[in-house]
Structure 1
């Protein structure tokens, strides 16, 4: 107890995000933290989006270059990003958060087909951390990690390879962006040496050491079912009349609006049946309502399997 801990390299590699939350932004109430904080997943998604690689080939290339571990599970299943998100959230809001309170989905089920649709609709796909404070709600903190559609014009869409980018929005400073290499020996060394120097300085004046936000009040964690955001959903369906209308009807039953639809040419399976990938871009809706709608849609006989989705 009472011993300072320094951990700048624990989130964002060489990006000084820890010191910024502890010191530079201390007078701000943090409205949101959104960003890319796993370089391995970002490298894989960049390879899929820019070069048309499939997931397996992109992962193999990342491992060959040393960007992915031999067992890449924690990176690709989203939990490495989730652990970093927990650190950032606890620093920003001064409250202890249990890992089971964060919603986590990785990139393992993202396919080149999803990138075809994303490009056609003016998006790319990124694994994003979303931390958002909702004032006035009992469970006020939204905390999730999941693949997301990002508009081509958005600054995060241009963050490629092993680079990280973290957007922090404060009530006084407004939006700030931290960008840099999220991994590698040199960025990590930069962060570690910074910690050593800071520790040396603060050992002389220990009263100036900053830890978690001392002004924050305890806040609950919003259940993922109550979070609201637009969604991309891809269905594999039998190419026959009425499919779009039936899916749209079910979505409407659960109060979910459609902003766009798209499809690619049908392909014939081994039995000679025509199958099609059908995409819906949905208006903002609660995750829980979307899950109920998808459960009902998958019961339609012409829908092949569990749909793919991104926020």
Structure 2
């Protein structure tokens, strides 16, 4: 008995998925069991890179999720609506769902997984995080016996490409962004990428899997890379760091019942495994006990990579349906119901890099040290790096400090007559 697919969307990922499903030579024999039964598109007139039999393609997406013949719905249209409504309708109709939609899962995962559990069907989402990198199933299966301490990733190819170019060429953010848009690495509206929102969606999903609880997306701290300057990249280099946009989910330093879940540009020591991940590549570092460190690396986006993950999920489902239709496989389902408690960013304990522009007055460094000392901020290094016009530039790196205390010290420092501005504030891994 073949398994009938209803595919929603025939854009880049949808086309790549159809191509993989049609090219069965020297691939998994389970591909022979899959029938592309219906494909939903916005327009029938658009030229396509794939050939499909007459009657397969339709603009009526609702008819696909309501068709009793369809076994698996593959959602690759992206965005929040109508994707959410179509996924929910498919689940209510007893259909399994494969999706690449990290935005819908991160925002509506609670509703989607509750509906799937009630209907006794599966939602698979390997393609939602890390493109073609297999990370979802490893977290659910291969690594599930471990006590996970942290998941740290470079999970957005656009920002990694921009920061890599800035580092290698000494270019400005705006110049590289324009180039990335021209090359197709960045969207016309790059907000979701450069403001850290896309990475926020992905770390919410990874945190949920790694720590066995649902995540309120609004509790995830997200900060992007717009404020990272070529000056900071140059100073980071001198100090032995590279700057990466990291997505981090880890157990809270002082209260292990809480999580720290955040996205922000970070100074990464050059010896760290993530420091050498460049261009549009992604990598996810999982730390746990007893496994130690495991890093998954690969292309984080693109038709081939994402279609690979979507198709793998389809085959995973086909194998499960063939062998155990009456006994749902718990490793495919999302069973946890409780929400993780996420600590506010003010409770984060980390090191900081800060750049000050100061008026050329005597005793400025001493005054900085006094203000920091008032709030228990210990300084690892203080360097006066030179001048920008009339203003002296001072770069400070702290030891570990609670973010709330550090922010209070900065508020006091801003009031000092000698301080012109604080152009940069970055966390250090």
TM-score normalised according to structure 1 size: 0.93
Does the CA-based 8 Å contact 1:230-1:283 persist in structure 2? Answer: yes
State which drifts further: 199-208 or 22-31: 199-208
1:292 is matched with which residue? Answer: 408
Q: How far did 1:178 drift?
A: 0.5
Paired residue secondary structure (1:266): strand
Paired residue secondary structure (1:245): helix
2:285, 2:311 → 1: CA distance?
24
Choose from 275, 288, 294 the match for 1:176.
294
Query: Structure 1 unaligned runs (5+)?
Result: 269-273
Are 1:196 and 2:314 counterparts?
yes
1:91 is matched with which residue? Answer: 209
1:215, 1:98 → 2: CA distance?
14
1:148 is matched with which residue? Answer: 266
1:271 is matched with which residue? Answer: none
1:134, 1:214 → 2: CA distance?
24
1:208 is matched with which residue? Answer: 329
2:140 is matched with which residue? Answer: 22
Change over 3 Å in CA distance of 1:217–1:97 after alignment to 2? closer
Are 1:232 and 2:363 counterparts?
no
Q: Which has the higher contact order (CA 8 A, sep 6+)?
A: 1
1:299, 1:211 → 2: CA distance?
55
Choose from 220, 224, 227 the match for 2:341.
220
2:155, 2:272 → 1: CA distance?
17
Query: Structure 2 unaligned runs (5+)?
Result: 1-117
2:177 is matched with which residue? Answer: 59
Choose from 135, 148, 164 the match for 1:46.
164
Does the CA-based 8 Å contact 2:280-2:300 persist in structure 1? Answer: yes
- CA deviation map 1:199-241 (0-9, x unaligned): 1112232522424675897541112111101111111221322
Larger Rg: 2
2:352, 2:365 → 1: CA distance?
17
1:230, 1:174 → 2: CA distance?
23
Q: How far did 1:262 drift?
A: 2.3
1:62, 1:258 → 2: CA distance?
37
Choose from 91, 104, 121 the match for 2:239.
121
TM-score normalised according to structure 2 size: 0.68
- CA deviation map 1:233-291 (0-9, x unaligned): 111221322111111110111001111122332132xxxxx112211000000111111
- CA deviation map 1:12-36 (0-9, x unaligned): 1110001111111111121110121
1:132, 1:15 → 2: CA distance?
21
RMSD, aligned CA: 1.8
2:377 is matched with which residue? Answer: 256
Q: How far did 1:157 drift?
A: 1.0
Q: How far did 1:76 drift?
A: 0.5
Paired residue secondary structure (2:204): helix
Paired residue secondary structure (1:276): strand
1:243 is matched with which residue? Answer: 364
1:135, 1:212 → 2: CA distance?
30
Are 1:107 and 2:228 counterparts?
no
